[in-house]
């Protein structure tokens, strides 16, 4: 079986490509940007971070230079047609995941990019399966309640252009499947995180990015906040952030998310027609307060308080509000995610590890807890 995958150099795409290549023994074609030799190096390095890639697996890996923002995925008409005739499934993982990114770019990569993948699907045989990687963020700014896997609505609006662009992409997938009477699998992971240290060359996950941003802020300083080296030890840094104190996130460990996605997108039998959507989420949401406590435990003197109204914000607080716009835009909700489809198609898969204080601390990029900290 031959799988074409986009986004194989990314945090999630590289994990999926690793599983497809090594545990499912597939022929994998990785479509990505850049010159061929450089692309192959980046794909092999990214996949290799998840376990050794033996020579026979490397022989089953092929790379193709392309760009999802371009018509025909940037392929020549001949290569586009040839690849479409070869593949048994297409995993579309490539995306721009910048939460605070600009609208035009996010729609170009995430929505238009999906349209180009669907045009590729049009050229494939009827049995070729599409696995589209979406996100829980398509639930939008729904304040609370249970989001079902079949739900797809824009009535609540979207906190970020990222969420809106991925919603629009899912709509395209549904329209395509209905128009062509073809099946498609849509996977909606929540915030995927790893509690293992990542080498500098690895693609980061959003929690690690958040940890780095706060580190830069607290250690390097910000308007109104001197760098750590210029502050007397133990200086209190009391800051308010504009967020709901009762907000929750869904954070799902990458090991579980990858295995669930591959079992659903690859191992489970393909339905004849129609879109089947799956929430790849943790059964227990994480409180925003627990994420903030993780930062406070690391930085002595740091006190973070959530406020819904921002009266008389200090220059530092205003800076943080701008600097962390993407993250803070998700700090208002308490919605939860139904897992009926995901549980039905992953029988026997153990539940994900708990996202506890230790997991959070490591996922945020702080490998070692201070000795006095609770686990
Ligand atoms: N990480 C999460 O927590 C999370 C949560 C929910 C959903 N998701 C979804 O999961 C998927 C994978 O995310 P990720 O975390 O792996 O993202 P990532 O680490 O940022 O990787 C993005 C991938 O997309 C590729 N890409 C970007 N623009 C492209 C273009 N124009 N043409 C071809 N390839 C392009 C990148 O290639 P380069 O190496 O060339 O940049 C990279 O391989 C995305 O669809 C995302 O929306 C992720």
| Predicted confidence (pLDDT) per residue in 127-179, tens digit | 999 999 999 999 999 999 999 999 999 999 999 999 999 999 999 999 999 99
- Residues 94-124: tens digit of each pLDDT: 999 998 899 999 999 999 999 999 999 999 9
| 199-223: average pLDDT | 83
Closest Cα to atom 33 of ligand 1:
67
Q: Is 211 inside any structural domain?
A: yes
pLDDT at 375 over 60: no
Stronger pLDDT, 367 or 238, i.e. the higher one: 238
Which residue in the block uniquely carries the two structure tokens 């879109």? 275
Length of the chain in terms of residues written? 375
Smallest CA-to-CA distance from 120 within 94, 172, 83, 78 is with 83
How far is Cα 168 from Cα 162, in angstroms, rounded to an integer?
Answer: 10
| 181-210: average pLDDT | 87
Residue 271 three-state SS: coil
Q: pTM, whole model, 2 decimals?
A: 0.95
Tokens encoding 161? 């252009």
Residue 361 three-state SS: helix
Which atom of ligand 1 is found nearest the CA of 113? 31
**169 CA from centroid of ligand 1 (Å):** 14
Tokens encoding 239? 């800051």
Q: How large is the angle between the packed helices 315-323 and 206-220, nearest 10 degrees?
A: 160
Please, which pLDDT band fits residue 206 given cuts at 50, 70 and 90? confident
Please, which pLDDT band fits residue 367 given cuts at 50, 70 and 90? low
How far is Cα 288 from Cα 293, in angstroms, rounded to an integer?
Answer: 9
What's the pLDDT score for residue 310? 83
Question: CB of 35 within 8 A of CB of 8?
Answer: no
* Residues 220 and 323 placed together within one structural domain of the fold: yes
Q: Is 348 inside any structural domain?
A: no
User: Which residues partner with 55 through β-bridges?
Assistant: none
Please, which pLDDT band fits residue 374 given cuts at 50, 70 and 90? very low
Question: CB of 3 within 8 A of CB of 60?
Answer: no
- Angle, CA 310 vertex, CA 309 and CA 315 arms, to 5°: 170
* Residues 125 and 158 placed together within one structural domain of the fold: yes
Question: CB of 250 within 8 A of CB of 338?
Answer: no
Q: Is 372 inside any structural domain?
A: no
| 245-257: average pLDDT | 96
**11 CA from centroid of ligand 1 (Å):** 7
Smallest CA-to-CA distance from 146 within 339, 363, 351 is with 339
What's the pLDDT score for residue 273? 84
Q: Is 375 inside any structural domain?
A: no
**341 CA from centroid of ligand 1 (Å):** 24
Question: CB of 189 within 8 A of CB of 287?
Answer: no
Average pLDDT, the chain: 93
Pairing between strand 146-147 and 336-337?
parallel
Question: CB of 131 within 8 A of CB of 106?
Answer: no
Helix (H) or strand (E) holding 163: helix 161-180
Domain that holds residue 220: 206-248+285-334+354-363
Stronger pLDDT, 316 or 47, i.e. the higher one: 47
What's the pLDDT score for residue 369? 45
| Residues in the ligand 1 pocket, defined by CB under 6 Å | 6-7, 9-13, 32-33, 67-69, 93-97, 109, 113, 133, 135, 166, 189, 191-192, 203, 205-206
Phi, psi of 202 (to 5 degrees): -80, 150
**302 CA from centroid of ligand 1 (Å):** 33
Q: Is 94 inside any structural domain?
A: yes
Q: Could you tell me if residue 50 is left (phi over 0), alpha (psi between -120 and 50 degrees) or otherwise beta?
A: alpha
- Residues 62-104: tens digit of each pLDDT: 999 999 999 999 999 999 999 999 999 999 999 999 988 999 9
How far is Cα 266 from Cα 46, in angstroms, rounded to an integer?
Answer: 21
- Residues 301-347: tens digit of each pLDDT: 889 999 988 888 888 888 888 888 888 988 999 999 999 999 999 99
- Which residues, in sequence order, are CB contacts of 372 under 8 Å at separation 6+? none
Q: Is 74 inside any structural domain?
A: yes
* Residues 184 and 83 placed together within one structural domain of the fold: yes
Q: What is the domain-level CATH number for residue 267?
A: 3.40.50.720
Tokens encoding 225? 């906040």
How far is Cα 141 from Cα 158, in angstroms, rounded to an integer?
Answer: 5
* Residues 272 and 289 placed together within one structural domain of the fold: no
Query: What is the number of domains present in the chain?
Result: 2
Neighbour tally for 205: CB within 10 Å = 22
User: Which residues partner with 90 through β-bridges?
Assistant: 4, 130
Share of the chain above pLDDT 70, in %: 98
* Residues 180 and 216 placed together within one structural domain of the fold: no
* Residues 137 and 240 placed together within one structural domain of the fold: no
- Which residues, in sequence order, are CB contacts of 297 under 8 Å at separation 6+? 357, 361, 369, 370, 373
């Amino acid at each position: 079986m031959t799988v074409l995958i986009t986004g194989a150099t990314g945090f999630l795409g590289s994990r999926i490509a690793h599983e497809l290549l090594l545990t499912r023994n597939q022929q994998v074609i990785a479509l990505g940007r850049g010159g061929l030799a450089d692309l192959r190096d980046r794909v092999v390095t990214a996949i290799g971070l998840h376990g050794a890639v033996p020579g026979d697996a490397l022989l089953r890996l092929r790379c193709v230079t392309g760009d999802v923002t371009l018509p025909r995925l940037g392929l020549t008409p001949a290569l586009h047609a040839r690849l479409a005739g070869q593949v048994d499934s297409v995993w579309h993982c490539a995306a721009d995941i910048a939460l605070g990114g600009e609208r035009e770019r996010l729609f170009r990569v995430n929505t238009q990019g999906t349209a180009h993948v669907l045009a590729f699907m049009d050229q494939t045989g009827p049995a070729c399966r599409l696995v589209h990687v979406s996100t829980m963020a398509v639930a939008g700014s729904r304040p609370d309640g249970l989001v079902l896997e079949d739900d797809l609505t824009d009535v609540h609006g979207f906190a970020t252009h990222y969420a809106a662009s991925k919603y629009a992409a899912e709509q395209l997938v549904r329209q395509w499947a209905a128009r062509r009477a073809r099946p498609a699998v849509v996977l909606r992971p929540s915030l995927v995180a790893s509690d293992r240290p990542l080498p500098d060359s690895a693609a980061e996950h959003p929690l690690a990015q958040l940890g780095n941003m706060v580190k830069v802020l607290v250690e390097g300083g910000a308007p109104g906040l001197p760098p750590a080296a210029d502050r007397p030890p133990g200086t209190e840094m009391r800051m308010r952030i504009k967020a709901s104190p009762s907000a929750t996130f869904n954070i799902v460990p990458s090991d579980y998310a990858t295995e669930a996605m591959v079992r659903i997108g690859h191992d489970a039998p393909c339905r004849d027609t129609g879109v089947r959507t799956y929430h790849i989420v943790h059964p227990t949401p994480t409180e925003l307060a627990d994420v903030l406590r993780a930062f406070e435990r690391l930085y002595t003197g740091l006190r973070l308080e959530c406020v819904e109204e921002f009266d008389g914000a200090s220059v530092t607080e205003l800076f943080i509000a701008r600097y962390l716009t993407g993250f803070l835009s998700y700090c208002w909700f308490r919605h939860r995610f139904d897992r009926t489809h995901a549980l039905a198609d992953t029988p026997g898969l153990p539940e994900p590890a708990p996202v506890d204080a230790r997991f959070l601390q490591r996922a945020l990029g702080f490998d070692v807890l201070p000795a006095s900290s609770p686990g």
